[in-house]
Chains A and B, each alone.
Chain A
């Protein structure tokens, strides 16, 4: 292709112009990292009269959002100032508005742009969770891709804002996250529940339980669980920590936790440290009658012994059997308690529906629509077998007179 040089010159000019234009108009998304604040936790509350901010709150104000932002650590500054910044490395920003979307707009007036990509924890205040459908609340997070599906959801016993401003030393959001990562060490902590899981559960209209957090004496504590109803998508009831513990025994898959065995006088006898819980759920269908049977198997050890043991070593075996029986009885009370509560609340939060769906898909399709009601009347049986593998220091205890 023969091209005359003059033509080429014009083309070159045009082309370089194009490049310049594209470079000037480019960088649409460029945003300096230091111009952002990173939110690590978000709390939602319902504003009531007594705790509303006088200046902003009006009668129509409904929602309150609290962003917990990290303050960038100033590594540049000299050592003298670093000591002072260590004490407080987060700040909370609060906004009040009618809708979730309005909230985000309000926040954007208040501060530097907030990046939601690092949000780890979403805390929802109790009153709000009881009032509005969880789906509408989470939809923003789910649809707006700034927030990631991996952030964890919690229910605040009281007010989310209080929880996010509870601790002075640690960053509350990160603290909550690391406590929930500890869940293998306690049966009182529920498995982590991500935004993704919540959306799936809401979509499939099944009830689920979220970890509740509370503040007591300035400390964040995990206390039981909040049940989100599958139909209404609202918070309906709470589980006490003991019921949560029972739930762990029903659902199994735990590799840690403690069980304190007491006698009738509420004195601690010994502590059973769980090494593993395996539970197996079987759905039985006879005609129209559905029933469940839960097989719980656990191994563990006695980690602390407060009993005044005076038996001779010959009876070790017997003692172990006796202890196992005691643990079994204790576990059964937990189980029964939790099952009763669930059926009383008419909320299946222990995945009985999944068991039925997998084992008897046809029956499941029949009862699917009204599952929670059906569930409340289903007989649930269980058997528990505990195996104590390790007595810790018990042998020494036995040998002493």
Chain B
């Protein structure tokens, strides 16, 4: 060891840089984090003030408050007979006191108020039918009904059904259990105090405007339905497909001025309770005057605002939401937007499509691997091209190297400038094509991609191989099934290119380490973002069955472990023969 080297300036210069650089970065990060914390603090203070006003305001005008809160309040106030009360309570419990369960009380006799109730789930039933054909006949014939009630209470319901209520489908159910499942499929239940049976009538609504196939996530094979703007419709779309009684809808009213309905949807016996509590806590902290889109919600409750990766998934597809719910994840619906948020999310989920499960396993495995390849190409290929062309000429096969040198002959810019020019222009083209009406957008793409590309090559501003690389990255970034998932790749591609221009392949490697470090440090609602790549337990590697590949469905007997679902069994591992 040469101690005299201690005197040389580059050692000391380097030492200062290696101290000051990272330390400066650290302080910067600390400051940014503090920035968020401070803003949250000041926000909360303001919020508290605001909330007080808000509450006083709410007392005066509560006509917009939901029926659910109304009825539950009144139920406590008024004493109804224990049987009816128990029944309603039971049904309410079964449905997790979801907001869309409506209880409408009726008074059948004058002796006791409210000795009957109609139960239905909002959005699933045609309310006009209920008021016209159930409530109004009952009210009009109250005298005769009240006499039946006092004489033969057991006969009441059948008499009602047979003589008074003009609804075709109706039946008597002795068990409340059955009533719940009928309710979930769009029936209305008539409960009468003192009568054990329940009259269940089918008043299923034709569900408003049907959601068309979502433009942002079209599938070749899969349901052609998407969410719509109304939260009731969206919940009913979910309800229609997911008749599980454990599907719980937890309501929120968000936005101080323009109050918007939101709902946290999860399956009670699947979703991890901690996850639900955490999401609930974060939603409770939101205080903003308006929430026009679920993107607002996403940004207000995400984990790391500095990360380029989305920490919640947004989708317009009900099937995707239901699949996510069945994996033990949660969904957040917001009124006024067809985009539903899913959490938690990992990078691998962003590269999955519902179609992976609808197709047979071999094609979907292939497609999935292609997607990972596409993500890799979209992020790294320009960087690798730069590092090969300007640093590691020896690693290219000889003939390719010579032809690359030939094509770059006469191009005045270094590869990084060339790549930046092309990448930036293609991103602009993409953005331009996106905002324009469809036919015009296509023209822009054609003009930009073909004409400018060709002209640029002929003018020797860029080399033809660069055009190929840029086109390749553009195309591969379209192969990513979700728009939001492609964004980090588009951003990080530029970072990778700068790293490559400084350090060549070593720089690309450093960038990769940095990127992956960021991913392992990032969490989405408690789930590490890189899951299921590196599970803590060896058993966690079983999640790999549905990661880069998609094994046949009969092997996917358990839900992904990374979400820590309460009930991990998806298919009975030891199925009993039916019969």
Contact = CB atoms under 8 A, between A and B. Distances in A.
Asked if A and B touch directly (CB within 8 angstroms), the answer is yes
A72 B406 contact: yes
A3 B398 contact: no
Contacts of A88: none
Nearest to A2: B34
A1 B25 CA distance: 14
B403 A72 contact: yes
B106 to A, nearest CB: 63
A30 interface: yes
Contact of B24 (A15, A38, A75): A15
Contacts of B460: 76
A70 interface: yes
Contact of A118 (B25, B30, B398): B398
Contacts of A115: 393-394
A29 B21 CA distance: 23
Interface string A1-43: 1110101100110110010001100110111111010101000
A19 to B, nearest CB: 9
Interface string B20-36: 11001101101100100
A148 interface: yes
A3 B179 CA distance: 62
Contact of B402 (A2, A15, A73, A120): A73
Given A1-B30, A117-B393, A118-B401, A18 B20 contact: yes
B34 A3 contact: yes
B439 to A, nearest CB: 34
Interface in B399-427: 401-411, 414-415
A8 B501 contact: no
A29 B409 contact: no
Given A18-B21, A76-B407, A115-B393, A3 B415 contact: no
A129 B343 CA distance: 73
A27 B498 CA distance: 10
B464 interface: yes
B382 interface: no
A107 to B, nearest CB: 17
B406 A76 contact: yes
Contact of B391 (A22, A29, A74, A75): A29
Contacts of A18: 17, 20-21, 24
Contact of B406 (A7, A74, A146): A74
A23 B507 CA distance: 12
B516 interface: no
B503 interface: yes
B502 interface: yes
B389 A33 contact: yes
B390 A32 contact: yes
B393 A75 contact: no
A30 B409 contact: no
B400 to A, nearest CB: 10
B31 A3 contact: yes
Nearest to B507: A26
Contacts of A23: 498, 502
A67 to B, nearest CB: 14
A26 B24 CA distance: 20
B344 interface: no
Given A76-B406, A120-B398, A33 B24 contact: no
Contacts of A40: 398
Contacts of B501: 26-27, 30
Contacts of A30: 390-391, 414, 501, 504
Given A14-B20, A15-B24, A15-B28, A34 B411 contact: yes
Interface in A110-155: 115, 117-118, 120, 146, 148
Contacts of A148: 394
A347 to B, nearest CB: 34
B33 to A, nearest CB: 10
B409 A11 contact: no
Given A27-B502, A38-B405, A118-B401, A14 B24 contact: yes
A8 B402 contact: no
Contact of A31 (B25, B390, B404): B390
B502 A118 contact: no
Given A14-B20, A31-B390, A117-B394, A38 B31 contact: no
A33 B408 contact: yes
Interface in B1-28: 17, 20-21, 24-25, 27-28
Contact of B21 (A2, A7, A15, A32): A15
Contacts of B401: 33, 38, 118
A325 to B, nearest CB: 48
B21 A33 contact: no
Interface in A58-98: 70, 72-76
Interface in B444-487: 457, 460, 464
Given A15-B24, A38-B402, A73-B406, 6 more contacts: A5-B31, A32-B389, A34-B405, A38-B401, A76-B407, A115-B394
11 contacts: A1-B30, A3-B31, A8-B27, A15-B21, A27-B501, A30-B501, A38-B393, A38-B401, A76-B406, A76-B457, A76-B460
Interface of A: 1-3, 5, 7-8, 11-12, 14-15, 18, 22-23, 26-27, 29-34, 36, 38, 40, 70, 72-76, 115, 117-118, 120, 146, 148
7 nearest A-B pairs in the assembled complex, by CB-CB distance:
A117-B394, A72-B406, A26-B502, A15-B24, A72-B405, A34-B408, A118-B398
